Amino acid sequence: MTTARAAAIVLTKELRMEFRARELLSTTVVFALVIVVLFSFAFDPTAGESRRYGPGLLWIAFLFAGSLMLNPSFAREQANQTLDALRMAPVSPFAILLGKMLANFIFMAVSEAILVPVFAVLYNISIGGIVGRLALVLALGTVGLVVAGTVFSAIAAHARMRELLLPLLLLPILAPLLIAAVEATASLFAEQPALDRAWLAFLAGFDIVFLTASWLLCDFLLEE
């Protein structure tokens, strides 16, 4: 079986699980919403202030939500030793990892699609003219978040206190991604929206480095 086909099967399985349980998406969206609301008390959300703090707040909300949402990705395979069953399948370990990454990407993307309009309304930022470009920045940033997050979810699943450990491992590693994503988003939220190509390239570079590293290391990551 090709890696792509196997990854698609894992992806379908993850989506079906989420469709039946509907617990991951709802909690993620509400959690991110809580952060956005709390920030409105910490900073005065007038239009000028929002332009300044908005991009950072949006990405902090996504990163925090992601670091919580990615935890069950491998942790719930532990409950009934289903990861062992997955590993026994005659497919490359990268296919399992890739399938989970794709599923997590979809979950994050859906959460962001719900959250961004709410954020725009609450913080008085008009996103009408920049939807396409904003989607590109969000997608590139989310790929990096999901790639690193899925790998670290597999690491944390074997440790004690994994719920606390995953944000601890993930958030500092994502510091460069946060800077790049915030700057790219800020250039879109400016009075004269423009796409900052340097930061976009940086985000793409981050994604490529982490995806390549996880491809190289996945055999060790998923070994018994």
Partner 1 sequence: MKGRSAITAAVAALIFFAGYAALFIAPDESTMHEIQRVFYFHLASWMAMFTALSLAFVANVAWLVTRKPHWDWLGVSCVEVGVVSCTAGLITGVLWGRPAWGIWWTWDARLTTAFILWILYICYLLLRGLIEEPQRRASLSAIFGVFAFLDAPLVYASNRLWRTQHPAPVIFGGENSGLDPTMGKVLVVCIVAVMAMMVLVLIDRYRLERMRHDLDELRLSVDARGVASNTVLTKGLP
Please, which residue, 176 or 193, has the CB nearer to partner 1?
176
The string of DSSP codes covering 23-49 is -HHHHHHHHHHHHHHHHHHHS---HHH
Subset of 176-195 contacting partner 1 (CB under 8 A): 176, 179-180, 183
The residue within the footprint of partner 1, chosen from 5, 16, 52, 158 (CB under 8 A), is: 158
Subset of 118-157 contacting partner 1 (CB under 8 A): 148, 151-152, 155
Find out whether 96 and 211 touch, Cβ atoms under 8 Å: no
What is the C-alpha end-to-end distance of the chain, expressed in Å?
22
Distance CA 142, CA 38 (A): 23
The residue within the footprint of partner 1, chosen from 165, 195, 204, 211 (CB under 8 A), is: 165
Structure tokens at 135: 């989607």
Find out whether 51 and 125 touch, Cβ atoms under 8 Å: yes
Distance CA 196, CA 128 (A): 18
Q: Which stretch binds partner 1 (CB under 8 A): 23-31, 44-52, 56-64, 208-216?
A: 208-216
- Measured CA angle at 43 (ends 42, 49), to 5 deg: 170
Min. distance of Cβ 182 from partner 1 in angstroms? 10
211 binds partner 1 (CB under 8 A): no
Q: Interface with partner 1 by CB under 8 A: which residues?
A: 148, 151-152, 155, 158-161, 165, 168-169, 172-173, 175-176, 179-180, 183, 198-199, 202, 205-206, 209-210, 213, 217, 220-221, 223
